Amino acid sequence: MSENDLPADLIDLQRRMDAAHAAVDAFLEGRRGREWDEAEGARWQELMRERTDAAVALQAHPRMALAPGRLDLIARLRVAARTDEESAAS
């Protein structure tokens, strides 16, 4: 099985999870070493909820749940998600 036979919806779910992780990282980067106000705390909770929802959706996909070589599938999925994004940016 290659990246070419990964379902498009599964690749989209991986992209969603990657974007959610990137949003959390970006949020934290600008706020290291200081206290957060109430609005920032609410934004943090929203970002964490989005990240959790993305991970749950990805793991719930039938292809993920039924994959005998799950770690291999995850590795190929990450490559496919990055490759498709890089191709779209070109």
What pLDDT sits at residue 69? 80
**Number of alpha carbons in the 13 Å side-chain half-sphere of residue 83:** 12
3-state secondary structure string across 39-71: HHHHHHHHHHHHHHHHHHHHHHCHHHHHCCCHH
pLDDT tier, 90 (very low <50, low <70, confident <90, very high otherwise): low
pLDDT digits (tens, 9 = 90+) for 26-80: 999 988 888 999 999 999 999 999 999 999 999 999 888 777 787 888 888 999 9
The CA distance from 42 to 64, in Å, is 31
The CA distance from 56 to 50, in Å, is 10
